[in-house]
Amino acid sequence: MRAIITVVGKDRVGIIAEVSRILSENQVNILDISQTIMQDMFTMIMLVDVSVAKVAFSELSDALDALGKSMGLSIRIQHEDLFHSMHRI
Amino acid sequence: MINTREIMETIKMISEEHLDVRTVTMGISLLSCAGSDIDTVCERIYDKITHQAENLVKTAKSIETEFGIPIINKRISVTPAALVCEAIKDSDSFVKVAKALDRAAKTTGVDFIGGFSALVHKGATCGDNLLIDSIPEALASTDKLCASVNVGTTKAGLNMDAVKKMGEVIKKAAELTKDKDGFGCAKLVVFCNAVEDNPFMAGAFHGVGEPDCVINVGVSGPGVVKCALEKVRGADFGTVADTIKNTAFKVTRMGQLVAQEASRRLGVPFGIVDLSLAPTPAVGDSVAYILEEMGLEQCGTHGTTAALALLNDAVKKGGVMATSYVGGLSGAFIPVSEDAGMIAAAKAGVLSLDKLEAMTCVCSVGLDMICIPGDTSAETISAIIADEAAIGMINNKTTAVRVIPAPGKKVGDIVEFGGLLGTGPVMAVNQKSSADFIARGGRIPAPIHSLRN
């Protein structure tokens, strides 16, 4: 299963490093990554593959959420199908 | 890969604009539970519901986590209890059935269970009458149970004996729950043209034309529509309609995705997506605010009915292509106590009961979650039901009445229900009597345009 991770917040050193650390620790593969500044906010989007992840989706989601809180960012992970179904016919 | 703008649009809808799935409702047939021994029937009902819906809440929660979409309520609808319990001979036994349903709801962890219902649009059987008589006690002695009674259809006309009786039942339900401002009435709906696959409470029941078990989903998203309209301020109505359609399409696609996932994971057929705009009392999640965004100073003023007509139609046009099966009530809801903008408009005296009645001609359902003075007579409540049912019958649409004659409360007082049910300002009813009209009884014949064959 593929999922989209979104990170939104104030830019700082080490955001990608910290998110990637959690992903690599849990055997989550990064397939695509992009980052931009939208309305003065750092916005990073990652497409990841969680099919061989070591932990359940909910645990991964909790770990990323906790990281986000500790860095003052909003980090979400959501099933890719949500975005496809909303934006593609 | 989906582009950044699209991804961030979805994230913003969920995090800032209150986009959510209002309910995943599992419909369960209880026809196999029928019998004449009350204890056996209760046991069968409890066992069947707790078995079928064992994983409903767990599955909905896992979908919530994986897709990052809030699913506000998980609910169960069942076959109208009057049909299942036709062979049971006293109304005390119906209260036992109500308690068995409530117990099953608590065991499965759902928010509500609907289907303590009777369909009496042409006449009532012995079981129907016993169930209707037991409704006040049933609602007062349960927490999660919802009741509904269908008193008319376009095909059958209006059963005015049932309309009369429901006025009395609503009064009694309020009286038995007077310590909670008549809260029992918030769980009781009187319908005309009730639908069999409605996922929304309090009127959900699982119709006899439905399969053994089914998943129906109701979407929401007034906040998303409001935010989309903010970007086209001053544009003409064609643009307004298009903007609502585009938004409704996206919202409904999300509902379809959730419905398909829930259906697949539970191994239960997908029934319908209800194309609805259901408000919550949260600021920014209001249907009234959408109408005001279109250019009305406050909901309830002249132009409100036209604005609502446009909104309701555009929601359906946008949603219909986004899901494979449309059903339920499908349209904008206008429950007064559950909508911050409606509450404000009613408090300000801008929104009246008469205007709400007009609005129900062009939107989903009817007079919903409206607090009226505690001393309103049963006949007046029956007459309110009759008016609303007549609108449904003539216009071939579902209409409903869910009014709360809050004991001891007067016009201008405020009734607090809490949670999704919100806060209701007590609204004025007409003071002239309808008693002689309601006392006539009998049936109002079906309209000429019901003869379609």
Is residue A79 less than 8 Å (CB to CB) from chain B?
yes
Q: Which of A38, A78, A87 sits opposite B68 (nearest CB)?
A: A78
From the DSSP assignment, how many helices (H) and strands (E) are in chain A? 3, 4
SS (H, E, C) chain B: CCCHHHHHHHHHHHHCCCCCEEEEEEEECCHHHCCCCHHHHHHHHHHHHHHHCCCHHHHHHHHHHHHCCCEEEEEEEECCHHHHCCCCCCHHHHHHHHHHHHHHHHHHCCCEEEEEEEECCCCCCHHHHHHHHHHHHHHHCCCCEEEEEEEEECCCEEEHHHHHHHHHHHHHHHHHCHHHCCHHHHHEEEEECCCCCCCCCCCCCCCCCCCCEEEEEEECCHHHHHHHHHCCCCCCHHHHHHHHHHHHHHHHHHHHHHHHHHHHHHCCCEEEEECEECCCCCCCCCHHHHHHHCCCCCCCCCCHHHHHHHHHHHHHHHHHCCCCCECCCCEECCEHHHCHHHHHHHHCCCCCHHHHHHHCCCCCCCEEEEEEECCCCHHHHHHHHHHHHHHHHHHCCCEEEEEEEECCCCCCCEEECCHHHCEEEECCCCCCCCHHHHHCCCEECCCHHHCCC
Residue-level pLDDT at B1: 64
A82:B6 CB<8 A: no
All structural domains of chain A with their residue ranges: 2-87
Contacts of B66 in chain A (CB under 8 A): 3, 57, 78-79
Question: Which of B336, B290, B337 lies closest to B315 in space, CA to CA?
Answer: B290
Q: Which CATH architecture has domain A2-87?
A: 2-Layer Sandwich (3.30)
B4:A78 CB<8 A: no
Q: How far is A42 from chain B (nearest CA, A)?
A: 12
Task: Please give the backbone phi and psi of residue B223, each rounded to the nearest 5 degrees, phi first.
Answer: -60, -40
Is residue A78 less than 8 Å (CB to CB) from chain B?
yes
A85:B256 CB<8 A: yes
Is residue A37 less than 8 Å (CB to CB) from chain B?
no
pLDDT tens, N- to C-terminus, chain B (453 residues): 678 889 999 999 998 888 999 999 999 999 999 999 999 999 999 999 999 999 999 999 999 999 999 999 999 999 999 999 999 988 889 999 999 999 999 999 999 999 999 999 999 999 999 999 999 999 999 999 999 999 999 999 999 999 999 999 999 999 999 999 999 999 999 999 999 999 999 999 999 999 999 999 999 889 999 999 999 999 999 999 999 999 999 999 999 999 999 999 999 999 999 998 999 888 889 999 999 999 999 999 999 999 999 999 999 999 999 999 999 999 999 999 999 999 999 999 999 999 999 999 999 889 999 999 999 999 999 999 999 999 999 999 999 999 999 999 999 999 999 888 899 999 999 999 999 999 999 999 999 999 988
What residue of B is the nearest CA neighbor of A4?
B7
Q: How far is B231 from chain A (nearest CA, A)?
A: 16
What residue of A is the nearest CA neighbor of B254?
A86
Q: Which of B8, B62, B254 sits opposite A82 (nearest CB)?
A: B254
Contacts of A76 in chain B (CB under 8 A): 11, 68
Q: How far is B250 from chain A (nearest CA, A)?
A: 5
Residue-level pLDDT at B73: 94
A83:B62 CB<8 A: no
pTM of the model: 0.94
- Which ipTM was obtained for this model? 0.90
Is residue B254 less than 8 Å (CB to CB) from chain A?
yes
Beta strands B188-192 and B399-406, pairing class: antiparallel
Residue-level pLDDT at B295: 97
Express each pLDDT in A24-71 by its tens digit.
999 999 999 999 888 788 999 999 999 999 999 999 999 999 999 999
Helix (H) or strand (E) holding A66: helix A57-71
B15:A74 CB<8 A: yes
